[in-house]
Structure 1
């Protein structure tokens, strides 16, 4: 695990993801720009190839880069971004070697299911609305609980 943190850490996150955006909102409120910077990979002007990755790779796992150019990804990106914001105590189990295999498994599961969580409320509801149209997850049709008439 990366031990010599060279601040600031730049965190590359998917701002279109409701859960990710909620976490970033918390980190922004706590972090100093001297320790943690944010780049939203869902913004139109973002070019993943400029930082050496494909957009798909960056969407599949959290990425962060220290000022010396070293990258951390996945759980390590989470751990170091929370440390940068002064909230490291909350994610300390991410650094326990005995817990890493289980936490990595959970993280991979979350990453696979994250795209299917777009229906969750976004902390910035306006992100879903453009040109007087809002993207809202389709609702499931209601079951028809009526009983057929008996013809009487």
Structure 2
């Protein structure tokens, strides 16, 4: 896809999503120094407008940006984040042309269902519980609009 990688890759993820948080936890455990950075878009400190997007757009699918400003989204963001963490062999099927249409369909389906999965156990659930009460955040459904990514 790209001849020369401009590391680090910054991965923008939704830390409130239980499945997303599990994947990030796995990636953090294998991260290669100076190749992969993480930004939780559910953090109060995150502002999508600074990047030229809306929060809903950033939440609609996975986004990642190389150091030179090139963006990758969806399955490509997954592929490159796994490669940056040194786990590219696990994501290799994402490069197989014969499987790509099926994987794209599955990813779009997951993106539509993801807001409804907040009830799943979160890997950080212990930190979300205070005084015998646990808060399960409600995710906002992503809008159907698919704005074009801006190149920096």
* TM-score, with length taken from structure 1: 0.84
Look up the match of 2:143: none
Look up the match of 1:59: 59
Q: Which deviates more, 71-80 or 45-54?
A: 45-54
- Following superposition, the deviation at residue 127 of structure 1 comes to 4.8
Rounded Cα–Cα distance in structure 2 between residues aligned with 1:126 and 1:9: 29
Query: For residues 97-139 of structure 1, what are the alpha-carbon distances to aligned partners after superposition, in whole Å with 9 as ceiling and x for unaligned?
Result: 22111100000000000111111100000453368742259xx
Structure with max Cα Rg: 1
Structure 1 residue ranges, 4+ long, deviating more than 3 angstroms after superposition: 126-133
Query: For residues 21-80 of structure 1, what are the alpha-carbon distances to aligned partners after superposition, in whole Å with 9 as ceiling and x for unaligned?
Result: 000000001012400000000001100011111100110100000000000000000000
Look up the match of 1:140: none
- Structure 1 regions of 5+ residues with no counterpart? 138-152
Look up the match of 1:149: none
Q: 1:129 to 1:44 in 2, by over 3 A?
A: farther
* TM-score, with length taken from structure 2: 0.84
Look up the match of 2:134: 134
Look up the match of 2:74: 74
SS of the counterpart of 1:39?
strand
| Contact 2:32-2:86 at 8 Å conserved across structures | no
Across the two proteins, how many residue pairs are aligned to each other? 137
Look up the match of 1:113: 113
| Contact 1:16-1:127 at 8 Å conserved across structures | no
